[in-house]
Structure 1
Amino acid sequence: MIIYGVALLAICTLAGVITGDMLGVLLGVKSNVGGVGIAMILLICARLYRGRHGGLSKDCEMGVGFWGALYIPVVVAMAAQQNVVTALHGGPVAVIAAIGSVLICGATIALISRTHKGEPLPPEVPVTAQPLGAR
């Protein structure tokens, strides 16, 4: 049932928020540190684990896929609500970090695209055509 996908998402979100709050306390920051990202990683890991061990029905997988697809815009919206104005007024560190991360990501993508000399991936085989044990 699709509701199980929602339940899995809720469990991962709660675990991520609690872990992010604990990280914030450990680091001495008065906020959640990476809770949404941790929740997303937990959702991906739980989905892969349950899918490999046969514990994820088709409806549950559809529910997890649906909410997983909606999760990225939620993360973007939450990041947009961060106090960017205060960070910019607090000093140039935020601007330097943002520019640096964009440059590093761009350089990494360029390096990977230039060094990858392999053949293109084979066409994707539909999941229904694979034997049950091949997942």
Structure 2
Amino acid sequence: MIIYGVGLLAICTLVGVIIGDGLGILFGVRSNVGGVGIAMILLIAIRYFAHKRRILLPETEKGVAFWGSMYIPVVVAMAAQQNVVAALSSGHMAVLAAIFSVLVCTLVIAGLSRYKKGDPLPKEEDELGLERIGGKAHG
């Protein structure tokens, strides 16, 4: 039943590539725009929906979880194949997009960190029941 996890990933990848190619055509770019990210979002959404409705068997859910965790290294490998030098030399859009995304992420993280202060995490204890402070065990 783990093979269904691979099948679900394949379907999400195909749909993501089709949508990404469509976005590329819409934006006038001869490339896939966000297809891998769309596929990952689809995989997460389908897994969440199926888990909530108890549709997936535990073996299938393990397959989906495995391939979902393997997806990030695949995305990194695919991004490594992109020609960054050509993107930078062809225009300033890539540089502006990178700067804008870093600024937006920084502002969102800063806003979320100030939004609600929760209780601090409890102190960790090792196997002997001793509290750990600064890497040293104290009794």
Q: TM-score range by the shorter chain?
A: 0.7 to 0.9
- Alpha-carbon distance change, 12 to 105 in structure 1, aligned in 2, over 3 angstroms: same
Distance between the aligned counterparts of 1:26 and 1:98, measured in 2?
Answer: 21
Q: CA deviation at 1:120?
A: 6.0
Q: CA RMSD in A?
A: 1.7
Could you say which structure has the higher strand fraction?
2
Q: How does 1:6-85 map to 2 (within 5 A)?
A: 6-85=6-85
Distance between the aligned counterparts of 1:104 and 1:27, measured in 2?
Answer: 22
Identity %: 66
Q: CA deviation at 1:100?
A: 2.6
Secondary structure at the aligned position of 1:32 is classed as coil
Deviations 1:74-123 (A, max 9, x none): 112212221210111123332232123212212221221123223469xx
Figure out how many residues of one structure are paired with residues of the other and give that number.
121
Q: Which runs of 5+ in 2 are unaligned?
A: 122-139
2:88 match: 88
Could you say which structure has the higher helix fraction?
1
The letter for the 1-side match of 2:12 is: C
- Alpha-carbon distance change, 120 to 56 in structure 1, aligned in 2, over 3 angstroms: farther
Structure 1 segments of 4+ aligned residues over 3 angstroms from their partners: 118-121
Q: Rg bigger for which structure?
A: 2
Distance between the aligned counterparts of 1:120 and 1:46, measured in 2?
Answer: 34
Give the TM-score taking structure 1 as reference length: 0.80
